[in-house]
Structure 1
Amino acid sequence: MTGVIAASVETITTALRAVFAAERVATSDGFLQRRDPRASLLSISGLALATMLTRTLAVVVALGLVTVALAWLSAVPLRRLLARSAVVPLASAFVVLPQVVLFPGDPLVEVVGVTVTEAGVAYVVLFTLRVGVGVAFLSLIVMTTPFSAVVAAMRELRIPVALVWTIAVTYRYLFLFFDELQRLILARNSRTTGDSGIRGGWRDAKGIAGTFLLRTLDRGERVGRGMRARGGARPPSPYGRSRTLDATDYALVALAVVAVVGSGVVRWGP
């Protein structure tokens, strides 16, 4: 199973490992690192919500500048933040790309009888920027706040226990399942020679999918039994206590509230 499928799994596994390596940034002395996790979670989530609400390019650009400023103040490498935030908006742009010809509006250019409209191009650009800025905001939470502190903040903010459980277990064990798949591919490659190509890769993928599913279900059962043996039937408790909110924390939350309200006014106001 050498080729496209194996390379794709390797890429995904590397990206997931990078998520955990990103917590090293959370130990540095930066603006968001010094904030109470509750304030960081509320404010960054609010800014991401404001980004999703707006339909104005100027507002999206302004929120993007806020993202860059927060990253700079928090000692987050902009290149790393961009790399983490680029995949989702690029995929979103590919999905909405047909809107450049389907969206009604003034014609911009005509190629082979297909008319690209100004409104369609503007829609695709705005949609892609909104997704990119929103993902960048959410990436800042993971990169500047240890995940254990995020879980503790969610519990203190009275977020439903079921949702906290789902997020915590998914985060902790998602990379493990891809490691399992990578081991299966490595075992398959050790018994084959040469490049099987795309068709051969898909044929091998069909054969290995059942084994991976069974191993995944078995691993999930063992993880569940281990959690119950350690008291996992009880609601998840915070891993650490949050600090006392200070004036800067309140100011950051207030900024998020203003951003959400302002985005709503710009969108639905007269």
Structure 2
Amino acid sequence: MTGVVGRSAETLTGALRAVFAAERIADADGFLQRRDPRVSLCAITALALAVVITRTLVVVLCFAVLTVALARLSAVPLRRLVARAAVVPLVSALVVLPQAVLMPGDALLRIAGLTVTDAGIAYVVFFALRVGVGVALLSLLVVTTPFSAVVAAMRDLYVPVALVWVIAVTYRYLFLFFDELQRLVLARNSRTTGRGGPREGWRDARRLAGTFLLRALDRGERVGRGMRARGGARPPSPYRRSRHVDAADYALLALAAVAVVASGVIRWSP
């Protein structure tokens, strides 16, 4: 496939593979790598919750500094962490961008009869920053803890089995579906000569979407039958790593608890 649609499909495939292929960092000797997976899951989730409930820029910046500190202590490259966490806040900023002209405030500039206010711009920037810090915290959990350990921690914390199933199957077979998309794009490119216009690109995109949907459904049926043939009716039982909760684990949990309480107090205090 040629054109923007084909390049976008290839870029999306490579980006998603890179997002879920960060197991090497989990083998490093860092702070979060040495923590019990149950502690990491609870603490990072609590810190992300604290970021979500806050409404103060200073508090969000403090959480950003804490995220950078955890990344440095856990041997996570900041460039990779920023690259992983940048997509979601950018999309979130686009979603709330109309607030820049809808919220009342002092006018900054006028574009095509629309007035951009300072309060609207501040809201968009703050919203994107808050989402970015929360996603960066969750990315730290993903890159510093093996996925099997995360699933085992959810089982130990009595997360509903249905939710664990959905997360495990989605993670394990997302590669498979996007490999199928990559093969479809490669097959189309091998049968296409020259560069088509936008109309040809969108026509190819419609055909690709239909074929990919049918193949994804067929592959999902085969995956389900294979799982049932191998005892897939039982709950997922990933490999567990026997670790003991030490003083650093308790300190991380205490930090997360204090962060949640402080964020709640700052937000709802009169």
CA offsets per residue over residues 138-195 of structure 1, 9 Å max, x none?
A: 1001110010100000100100001000001101111211110111111111111011
Q: CA deviation at 1:130?
A: 0.3
Is 1:81–1:139's contact at 8 Å kept on the other side of the alignment? yes
In the TM superposition, 1:101-250 aligns within 5 A as 101-111=101-111, 113-250=113-250
Match of 1:35 in 2: 35
Q: CA deviation at 1:236?
A: 1.1
State the alpha-carbon separation in 2 of the partners of residues 151 and 242 from structure 1: 14
Give secondary structure in 1 for the equivalent of 2:33: helix
State the alpha-carbon separation in 1 of the partners of residues 117 and 247 from structure 2: 48
Gaps in structure 1 of 5+ consecutive residues = none
State the alpha-carbon separation in 2 of the partners of residues 228 and 139 from structure 1: 32
State the alpha-carbon separation in 1 of the partners of residues 202 and 127 from structure 2: 33
Amino acid at match of 2:32: L
Q: TM-score, normalised by structure 1?
A: 0.96
Give secondary structure in 1 for the equivalent of 2:21: helix
Q: CA deviation at 1:113?
A: 4.1
Q: Does 1:100 align with 2:100?
A: yes
Q: CA deviation at 1:108?
A: 3.2
Q: CA deviation at 1:44?
A: 0.5
State the alpha-carbon separation in 2 of the partners of residues 254 and 124 from structure 1: 32
State the alpha-carbon separation in 2 of the partners of residues 12 and 114 from structure 1: 34
Give secondary structure in 2 for the equivalent of 1:172: helix
State the alpha-carbon separation in 1 of the partners of residues 157 and 242 from structure 2: 11
Is 1:100–1:116's contact at 8 Å kept on the other side of the alignment? yes
State the alpha-carbon separation in 2 of the partners of residues 169 and 99 from structure 1: 37
Amino acid at match of 1:63: F
Give secondary structure in 2 for the equivalent of 1:33: coil
Q: Which moved more, 1:236-245 or 1:161-170?
A: 236-245
Is 1:153–1:242's contact at 8 Å kept on the other side of the alignment? no
Amino acid at match of 2:174: L
Amino acid at match of 2:196: S
- Percent identity for Structure 1 against Structure 2: 76
Q: Which moved more, 1:77-86 or 1:241-250?
A: 241-250
Q: TM-score, normalised by structure 2?
A: 0.96
Amino acid at match of 1:173: Y
Change (3 A) 1:191 1:33: same
State the alpha-carbon separation in 1 of the partners of residues 201 and 252 from structure 2: 50
State the alpha-carbon separation in 1 of the partners of residues 26 and 243 from structure 2: 15
